[in-house]
């Protein structure tokens, strides 16, 4: 009996070797990564300005005193008021003794 071997064509055989990137591909990838890094650094610089930090702090404080609907949380306002009143009383007592 004659021996038969299956014939394979390049279109049906999957490529098993990975293609190596060219120098131009690597340079383009490095350039894209550099541009992304510059954009990220610019964004971070903008977020770290004193004005931006003050805005974030102000929003955090406002968020602590308001609920999800924008209403004031009286229990939290009362806590801060009690702390301020306590500090004032302690200062007055300290001045009278001293």
Cα gap 55→60, rounded to integer Å: 9
The pLDDT tens digits for 40-94 are 999 999 989 999 999 999 999 989 999 989 899 999 999 999 999 999 999 999 9
The pLDDT tens digits for 4-21 are 555 555 555 555 556 888
SS3 72: strand
Cα gap 9→15, rounded to integer Å: 12
Domain boundaries, the chain: 22-65, 72-98
Per-residue confidence (pLDDT) for residue 4, from 0 to 100: 57
Cα gap 72→79, rounded to integer Å: 13
């Amino acid at each position: 009996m004659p021996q038969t071997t299956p014939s394979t064509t390049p279109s049906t055989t999957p490529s098993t070797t990975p293609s190596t990137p060219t120098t131009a591909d690597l340079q383009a990838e490095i350039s894209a990564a550099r541009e992304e890094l510059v954009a990220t650094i610019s964004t971070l610089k903008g977020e770290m300005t004193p004005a931006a930090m003050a805005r974030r702090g102000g929003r955090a404080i406002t968020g602590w005193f308001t609920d999800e609907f924008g209403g004031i949380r009286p229990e939290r306002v009362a806590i801060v008021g009690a702390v301020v009143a306590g500090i004032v009383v302690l200062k007055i007592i300290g001045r009278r003794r001293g």
